[in-house]
C-alpha cells in the first residue's frame, strides 16, 4: 500500500497544483475583469485542460481533468454566489383592495406634489439636472429665498450602495458647505426628506454661461469671467475640494451686477459613490479630462482642464473635441490635440491661445499646477483683448455650433 501512494505522489502533487491555480483565479482573477471576459477565460481554460487530458497520460491526464472540473464548477459557484448577493428590491406589501377613485390622477414626479422639503417651503421648479430637480424655496425661519437641489438616491442605489451614497452625500455636502469664497455659491443646509436628499443653497438671479456658447460674449468678458473661476477653483483646491464637473452650465453670471458664481461643488462625487467599482462615473463627457474619462484618480488639475474646455467653447462657439460616438470622443480626448483657438478666431492674441492650450494638455503634470497661475496668465491676456472686434453672430438656422459633442451631465459605464 505504501508503494502505491509513493507511485501516486506525482499525480497528487500535480492535482493539488492545478486546484491551487484554479482557486487563485477564482479568488483574485474573476473580480478584476468584466464578467463576459471572465466567463470566456474560464471556459477556454477548462477546454484546454480537457484537451490536454485527452492527449496525455498519467499523471498529467488526471491532473488536467481534475483542474478542468474544478475550474468549471468553481466559476459556476462564483457566478451563483454573485447573483445571490445582488441587492434585491423590497417585496411589495399587499394592501386591502379599495374601490378605485373615478378621477385618480397619474403618479406625479417626486416633490411636485409636496409643499415642503425639510423645513423649506417649495415654491416652484426652476431646473433639472442629471440626478434630480432644482426648486425655488423659502426658508421660513428667516424668510430667505433658497435654491433646493434634490437627488433621488433611492432610485439610483440599492442596499449597501444606497447606504454608502447617503454617507457620501452628507460628507461631500458638508465639505462643499465649508467653502467661503465670493465666487462660489454658498451652501446653507443639507438634509433628507422621505426618499429625497436635498441641498439648500444660495439662490442666484443671474443666468448660467450655457447660452453664451452660441451667442458669444466679448473676449474681454470671457477672459475676465474665466480668470475669476480659476481663482475660485484655486481656493477650493486649497481646501481639498475638487469640483469634477466644471462647464458653462455650472457657472452663473450677472453682467449687470458683475456676479460670477461656481455652482454644484461635490455633486459629481456624491453620485459617484461606490459605482466607481463597476466603472460608473458621473460627468459631462466633452468637458472631462483624459484622466477623469479613464476613471483614474483626479485632482485640481482635472478641473483646470475642464475650465480650459469651457474657455475654448466660450471663445469660439466650438468644443475642442467633437464626435458622433462616446468611444470616438474618449479616444480624441485621450490622444488628439485640439485645433488652436485661432483657427476659429484669428484675432485672439497668442498669449491667450497659449493659455488655452496649456490648460488642455493631456498629461496633468503638463498643465497649470494651480488655478492662480492660470488666472495670472488670463489677467495678462486681458490687457490685450479689450480692443478686439465683437464676436460673430449666432448662425441663422439656430443650430448650436457645438452639436456633435456631449455637453450634458450623464453617467458613463466604461464596462459596457
Task: List, by residue number, the catalytic residues.
Answer: 245
In 3D, which of 93, 129, 402 has the Cα closest to residue 267? 129
Joined together, the cell numbers standing for residue 206 give 443671474
Q: What is the dihedral of CA 373, 243, 181, 240, to 10 degrees?
A: -80
Question: What's the 3-state SS for the chain?
Answer: CHHHHHHHHHHHHHHHHHHHHHHHHHHHHHHHCCHHHHHHHHHHHHHHHHHHHHHCCCCHHHHHHHHHHHHHHHHHHHHHHHHHCCCCCCCCCCCCCCCCCCCCCCCCCCCCCCCEECCEEEEEEEEECCCCEEEEEEECCCCEEEEEEEECHHHHCCHHHHHHHHHHHHHHHHHHHCCCCCCECCEEEEEEECCEEEEEEECCCCEEHHHHHCCCCCHHHHHHHHHHHHHHHHHHHHCCCCCCCCCHHHEEEECCCCEEEECCCCHHHHHHHHHHHHCEEEECHHHCCHHHHCCCCCCHHHHHHHHHHHHHHHHHCCCCCCCCCHHHHHHHHHHCCCCCHHHCCCCCCHHHHHHHHHHCCCCHHHCCCCHHHHHHHHHHHHHHHCCCCCCCCCCCCCCCCCCCCCCCCEEEECCC
Query: 246 with 233: CB under 8 angstroms?
Result: yes
Kind of pairing, strands 410-413 and 120-128?
unpaired
Amino acid at each position: 500500500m505504501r508503494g502505491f501512494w509513493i507511485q501516486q505522489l506525482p499525480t497528487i502533487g500535480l492535482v493539488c497544483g492545478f486546484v491551487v491555480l484554479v482557486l487563485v483565479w477564482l479568488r483574485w482573477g474573476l473580480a478584476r475583469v468584466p464578467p463576459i471576459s471572465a466567463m470566456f477565460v474560464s471556459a477556454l481554460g477548462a477546454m484546454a485542460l480537457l484537451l490536454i487530458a485527452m492527449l496525455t497520460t498519467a499523471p498529467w491526464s488526471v491532473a488536467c481533468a481534475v483542474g478542468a472540473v474544478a475550474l468549471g464548477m468553481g466559476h459556476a459557484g462564483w457566478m451563483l454566489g454573485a447573483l445571490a448577493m445582488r441587492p434585491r428590491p423590497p417585496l411589495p406589501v399587499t394592501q386591502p383592495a379599495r374601490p378605485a377613485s373615478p378621477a385618480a390622477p397619474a403618479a406625479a414626479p417626486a416633490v411636485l406634489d409636496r409643499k415642503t422639503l425639510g423645513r423649506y417651503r417649495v415654491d416652484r421648479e426652476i431646473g433639472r439636472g442629471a440626478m434630480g430637480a432644482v426648486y425655488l424655496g423659502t426658508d421660513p425661519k428667516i424668510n430667505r429665498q433658497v435654491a433646493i437641489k434634490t437627488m433621488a438616491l433611492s432610485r439610483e442605489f440599492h442596499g449597501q450602495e444606497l447606504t454608502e451614497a447617503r454617507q457620501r452625500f452628507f460628507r461631500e455636502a458638508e465639505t462643499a458647505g465649508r467653502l467661503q469664497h465670493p465666487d462660489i455659491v454658498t451652501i446653507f443646509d443639507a438634509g433628507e426628506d422621505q426618499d429625497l436628499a436635498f441641498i439648500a443653497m444660495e439662490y442666484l438671479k443671474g443666468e448660467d454661461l450655457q447660452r453664451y456658447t452660441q451667442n458669444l460674449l466679448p473676449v474681454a468678458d470671457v477672459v475676465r469671467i474665466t480668470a475669476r473661476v480659476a481663482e475660485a477653483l484655486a481656493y477650493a483646491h486649497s481646501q481639498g475640494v475638487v469640483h469634477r464637473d466644471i462647464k458653462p452650465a455650472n457657472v452663473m453670471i450677472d453682467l449687470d451686477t458683475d456676479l460670477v458664481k461656481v455652482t454644484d461643488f461635490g455633486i459629481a462625487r456624491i453620485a459617484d459613490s461606490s459605482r466607481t467599482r463597476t466603472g460608473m462615473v458621473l460627468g459631462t463627457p466633452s468637458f472631462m479630462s483624459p484622466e477623469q474619462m479613464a476613471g483614474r484618480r483626479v485632482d485640481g488639475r482635472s478641473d483646470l482642464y475642464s475650465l480650459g474646455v469651457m474657455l475654448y467653447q466660450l471663445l469660439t462657439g466650438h468644443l475642442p473635441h467633437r464626435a458622433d460616438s462616446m468611444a470616438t470622443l474618449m479616444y480624441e480626448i485621450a490622444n488628439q490635440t485640439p485645433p488652436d483657438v485661432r483657427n476659429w478666431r484669428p484675432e485672439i492674441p497668442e498669449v491667450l491661445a497659449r493659455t488655452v492650450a496649456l490648460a488642455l494638455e493631456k498629461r496633468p503634470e503638463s498643465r497649470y499646477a494651480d488655478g492662480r497661475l492660470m488666472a495670472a496668465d488670463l489677467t495678462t491676456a486681458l490687457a490685450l483683448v479689450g480692443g478686439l472686434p465683437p464676436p460673430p453672430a449666432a448662425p441663422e438656422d439656430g443650430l448650436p455650433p457645438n452639436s456633435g459633442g456631449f455637453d450634458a451631465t450623464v453617467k458613463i459605464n466604461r464596462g459596457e
